[in-house]
Amino acid sequence: MERPKSSSRLRILVTGSAGFIGFHLARRLLADGHAVLGIDGLTPYYDVELKLRRHAILQSHHDFTCVTLMLEDAAALNAAVEPFKPDIIVHLAAQAGVRYSLENPRAYVDSNLVGTFNVMEIARTQAPAHFLLASTSSVYGANTDTPFAETDRADHPLTLYAATKKAGEEMSHAYSHLWSIPTTVFRFFTVYGPWGRPDMALFKFADAMLDGRPIEVFNEGRLERDFTYIDDLVEAVTRLIHTPPVLGQPIGPGDSLSPAAPWRTVNIGRGHPVNLMDFLGILERALGRNAEVVFADMQAGDMASTFARADLLADLTGYRPETAPETAIIAFCEWLRAYRRDPDAACRKAVVLPI
């Protein structure tokens, strides 16, 4: 599918720019000709070296500027953003991870509530043409009606992580209503691909298998996830940037547009859940080796299944995530092998080029 081109150069603030999704999005925006200010706290939740290498790739582009700070520091955030005067704000930075929220809950309150509030204050004072906020499929929590639609209630989160992300959604709605900030909240469904997060299943499984270590599979593999390839997600977000909500102008009966604000939620998922053991089988074929599996009980807070309805995304942008796991996992394995062999060469290969 041909990518739509922006008619003008935009100044875009991306929080979490050294993270997996933020890196890929910033890289795409730079390739499309925009100026990007990246902000990241470079927290040690996972390997900081991987984050630094992502930022180094982005810094090779003359239109990328990065600032290292914690979003909880409102004064530092204001000082970094005010001179840039962003046209668009994409807030991706967050304390991620379902299981880690059981170990360090305060990190989620600090980052996902206080940090998000500070970014929303930036949106209030800077008045961007569009404020976009990352949420998660985890907000659907105990909801068992599938596929998950944006108009479904999401009132029963199963972890503090999910609760803080849902709270961020509600906070952004209030700000959108009070200050007329066009706001899109996107709910991501298990994003994976090259330069991914080491704490996520694909990276953990592949890394262990390459080292000959066993892997832990929860609930005896009776889990399903709606996996979304990173390139598909970036394409969706890039298109949504140019589709701000307008109060009183829903696009159809399935639109999640608020009746009180220029605000909507949008699922970004492929809409094809994959059983975890089938996913592992694809990974085994891609790596050419079998996994040594150790089965474990269901983890507290885990959802048995995620399944996105992607109709609203398609209606808004003309695009649906479509990359099959077989293609995505091969791409990830090629990157991981290259990165383990020579990280510097992998970085040189990933320089930002015009699309």
Tokens standing for residue 249: 């102008």
Given the structure tokens 């050294």, which residue do they identify? 18
Nearest to 172 by CA among 239, 101, 266: 266
Q: What's the rounded Cα separation, in Å, for the pair 35 and 17?
A: 13
Catalytic entry in 45, 46, 161, 229:
161
Task: Confirm whether 108 is a catalytic residue.
Answer: no
In this structure, the chain runs to a length of 355
What span, in angstroms and rounded, lies between the C-alpha atoms of 160 and 83? 35
Tokens of 115: 């940090």
Cα separation of 157 and 143, whole Å?
A: 9
Give the bridge partners for 148, in sequence order.
Answer: 308
Residue with token string 């330069």: 195
**Cross-strand pairs, 36:** 12, 64
Kindly list the catalytic residues: 161
